[in-house]
Structure 1
Amino acid sequence: MKITRLFLAATAAVALATSVAQAQTKTVAITAIVEHPALDATRDGVVDALKAAGFTPGQNLKVDYQSAQGNPATAAQIARQFAGARPDVIVPISTPSAQAVAASTRDIPVVFTAVTDPVGAQLVKSMDKPGGNVTGVSDMAPVGEHVALIREIVPSVKRVGVLYNPGEPNSVSLVKALKEEAAKAGLTVTEATATKSADAQQAARSLVGKVDAVYIPLDNTVVSALESVIAVGQQAKLPIFSADTDSVARGTVASIGFDYRQVGRQTGEVVARVLKGEKPGDIPTIHAKGTDLFVNPKSAAAMGVTIPAAVTARATKVVGQ
């Protein structure tokens, strides 16, 4: 009888401990519009920062990650699924995913990341006072520096082509900024659009003979099909530049941009604050910190240009050698 009581007490203690552990475990749901190196690095950076803040996957943290595979309808479906599951925080990566998540819930905390223009995308009321259940990290690219870099590497440039998906608000914002910065530099801008990744190569071909260089903004549709665009640049001896540095290793000539793992870490720090009790609407939306210069001399040569020694000398990273 005594053994039975001891067994029941032990069982109750285990059940209580399990219940407490489950209650202390936090759930973070992460979703991205598509999988490509920059967004994947962002996701990994979020987990890095959560670990540093004391939230460890498999111990006191559960991470649920899903990709929409480039499909906005799937992004909306994932957002509704996450809203129904009611995690402690939802982290949408990219503007399309952030908009889908923000539309699906008004009370679950949302911390977006890799969103170019949060106010323009109507995710927050203002950067300083987002309000509601949403805050996050903006990766607004330094477009003026991109234009200056293109001119430095291709001194003869007069016409810049821009390849993007007009359905991505982040890209629309960057194209607008590009036109403004190009005008200041005396350059003209020619647009080519791709509404899905399969259209990116043909859109790139449409720019051949019309422009002196091509610029790819932070566009998930085009970046996910980057290799097909690079092939056009190499065949036509048309230099391709990117807004994100991860694309340089994949074949663009150069970029000034963010280390997206670090962008993810900055985002994860905000997520940790929310998990510890702060309200998203009270946390200012921040701009990603730090810029790196990546260059790819081998790809540049394949596209008919030579990166000046002065540019290579100040590069954070030289790839493709």
Structure 2
Amino acid sequence: MKRREFIFLVMGAAIGCPIMAMAQQSKTVRVGMLNPSFAVQKPLDAFRKQLGDLGYIEGKNLIIDYRTAEGHFERLPQLVKELVALRPDVLVAIATPAIAAAQRATSTIPIVMSPSTDPIGSGFIKSFAHPGGNITGVANMYGDVMGKSVETLHELLPAAKTVAVLMSLNTTHPTQYELARAALQSFGTSVFPVVAPTPDDLPDAFHKMTDAHCDALFVLADPFRPTIASLAASSRIPAVYQYREFVDAGGLASYGANNVGMFKMAARYVDRILKGASPSETPVEQPTKFELIVNLKTAKALGLTVPPSILARADEVIE
């Protein structure tokens, strides 16, 4: 080979590498998002911002196809079918009902959990370190901190004799209910289970709580149903939740992992998968920060005094 030809080949390779890298970065990727309930804007905004910080810009090199079942889980199979038909590079499934629907719909498209309450028990992964299939992502650890969440309710409302526990048709709820029941009964509290399968069933669920003279309500972690906080307020039932979005909507207090942080983690999973990581060998992450949020406006409206010990520990107090 002549020296001049060799120089041109070397220069071509040197120039070609960054051009290929730029081409890969400019390739438009498609992300499907499946939400079993109503949109919660702050976590979704955090997800988009994190993707933007990683170089993915909607309208430029990113398309996000979003579907929501608005609390009607029976709609999920059709919604995920629509998303799969769009051939996304990654599916992001929000909470257990959506993850289960996505798992049934595809075994080839990577699925990111955002988040899952019990990914092993639900059959989504084989282990946290080695998921073993097409699903990875974030676990929220709500079951692990159930005792602390219930303790928060007891400390806020030590005189509560009967506490309602609100559930939906979320498949994790039977197990989570048993954890909540055991924790509540350890404080000598009677437990009143209530199931509201859809948002339309919530008014009747609150009628049952008031008829049973429940002193307080504990809401199991579930896809967001915004009317729960307003129904609790109108029924004058103090309610404690497992994540803060309910407190932002007027709930009394919450203790659990931060959804904004978990959605940022989910965006990083999307980036890793788009860059070639295999879901089967990408470990599932768990949150390390849990937060106590208290709404003093709601406490005042209910005629409650929040103990100084709660205020001292609170990560945020809404006034």
TM-score in same-fold range (> 0.5): yes
1:120 is aligned to 121
**Structure 1 Cα separation of the partners of residues 192 and 36 of structure 2:** 26
Percent identity, please: 29
Q: Structure 1: any 5+ residue segments left out of the alignment? A: 1-16
Compare 266-275 and 203-212 and name the one that shifted more: 203-212
Partners of 1:189 and 1:114 in 2: CA distance: 27
- Structure 1 residue 231 displacement after superposition: 3.3
Residue type at the aligned position of 1:67: T
TM-score by length of 1: 0.85
Residue pairs, 1:105-254, within 5 angstroms? 105-141=106-142, 142-165=145-168, 167-208=169-210, 209-220=212-223, 223-234=225-236, 238-254=237-253
Normalising by the residue count of structure 2, what TM-score does the alignment of the two structures yield? 0.85
257-266 or 51-60, which moves further after superposition?
51-60
2:280 matched to which residue of 1?
281
Match of 1:260 in 2: 259
Q: Quick one: distance in 2 between partners of 1:276 and 1:91?
A: 16
The answer as to whether partners of 2:293 and 2:315 remain within 8 angstroms in 1 is: yes
CA RMSD of aligned residues (A): 2.3
Q: Per the alignment, in what secondary structure is the counterpart of residue 287 of structure 1?
A: coil
Instruction: Name the structure 1 match of 2:6.
Output: none
1:19-50 deviation per Cα after TM superposition (whole angstroms, max 9, x unaligned): x579722111111012143xx43332222222
Aligned residue in 2 for 1:4:
none
Is the alpha carbon distance of 1:43 and 1:173 closer, same or farther for their aligned partners in structure 2, counting shifts above 3 Å? Answer: farther
Q: Is the 8 A contact 2:95 2:222 kept in 1?
A: no
Counterpart AA for 1:158: K
Letter in 2 for 1:310: S
Residue ranges of structure 2 left out of the alignment (5+ in a row): 1-19
- Deviation by residue 1:229-286 (Cα, 9 ceiling, x = unmatched): 223432xxx3111111111122221111233121100111111111110001111122
Distance 1:73 1:193, change over 3 A: closer
CA contact (8 A) 1:266 1:288 kept: no
Q: What secondary structure is seen at the aligned counterpart in 2 of 1:161?
A: strand
Stretch deviating more after TM superposition (84-93 or 151-160): 151-160
Amino acid at match of 1:252: G
Using the alignment, how far apart are the partners of 2:251 and 2:133 within structure 1? 39
For residue 73 of structure 1, report the CA deviation from its aligned partner.
Answer: 3.2
> How far did residue 88 of structure 1 move?
0.8
Looking at structure 2, the residues matched to 148 and 264 of structure 1 have their Cα atoms a distance apart, in angstroms, of 26
1:206 counterpart letter in structure 2: K
Q: 1:309 offset after TM fit, Å?
A: 2.2
> Relative to structure 1, is the Cα distance of residues 312 and 22 closer, same or farther in structure 2, using a 3 angstrom cutoff?
closer
Contact 1:263 1:288 in 2 (8 A): yes
The answer (yes or no) to whether the contact 2:39–2:68 under 8 Å persists in 1 is no
Aligned length: 297
Amino acid at match of 2:184: A
